[in-house]
Copies of this chain bind each other. A is one copy, B any other.
Amino acid sequence: MREKRISEAVVRRLPKYYACLKKLAEEGTEKVNSTALAALLRCTASQVRQDLSNFGGFGQQGYGYDVAFLRDRIRAILGLDREQGVIIIGGGRIGQALASYEGFADEGFRVLAVFDVDVSSIRVRPGVRVAHISELPDFVRDNDVEIAVIATQADAAAGAAERVTGLGIRAVWNFAPCDLKAEEGVAVENINMSESLFMLSYKYKNLSKEKGKNG
């Protein structure tokens, strides 16, 4: 079956559907209708039907969706139905936390190695290699690396991203506190924690102000 072109807005919601369907399957639920799914996702049933219609007609009138089938279909659309090798550049606290996070393995992400300029204090779980950054080119040549996580300081992030893409890696997950732009032929996602925290501070400050006004 050929996939229709899916809009980015729909794609952005797929991980939520996927998480929800996985949980339902783990709980033993076999069928779910759009109303129940909408309640779990806190959206409307018509939104659910419209979103899921993008991947062909999964729902059967009066029966609902087959949970395991829909979960597997979305997993495949997201590219989670195969193993993907991951390396981490930067072995600080965030890099170490990511290297040891076992949740990724469930979705086929396998952390292969952590690279840094100073490897002396990096502790990760067994099976993950810790290596000096100078070993990066050989490692990428000899292993199936699909995703590079950038967990460096802000000022080293752009250089690290150039380095990994120069070695042919085409998926970059950036945790450094400065957004990286996607170059042609490279997929990039940024997790900018500072920005999120600053936004929280802004929202909170303006809550307080409104309370002050009314109080």
Listed in ascending order, the chain A residues whose CB lies under 8 Å from chain B are 11-12, 14-16, 18-19, 42, 77-80, 84, 93-94, 96-97, 100-101, 103-104, 107, 109, 146-147, 154, 170-173, 177-179, 181, 185-205, 207-208, 211
Contacts and interface: CB of A to CB of B under 8 A. Distances in A.
A18 to B, nearest CB: 7
Given A94-B97, A211-B185, A18 B198 contact: yes
A210 to B, nearest CB: 9
B185 A173 contact: no
Contact of A79 (B78, B171, B202): B202
How many copies are assembled? 2
Given A97-B97, A207-B170, A196 B189 contact: yes
A101 to B, nearest CB: 6
A3 B27 CA distance: 50
22 contacts: A11-B202, A15-B195, A15-B198, A19-B177, A42-B181, A78-B201, A79-B205, A93-B97, A93-B101, A94-B101, A103-B194, A107-B198, A146-B204, A171-B204, A173-B196, A173-B200, A186-B207, A187-B200, A187-B204, A188-B200, A189-B203, A191-B191
Contacts of A181: 42
A193 B191 contact: yes
Nearest to A108: B201
Contact of A178 (B19, B94, B179): B19
A100 B84 CA distance: 30
A16 B201 contact: no
A185 B188 CA distance: 34
A191 B78 CA distance: 19
B19 A202 contact: no
Contacts of A101: 93-94
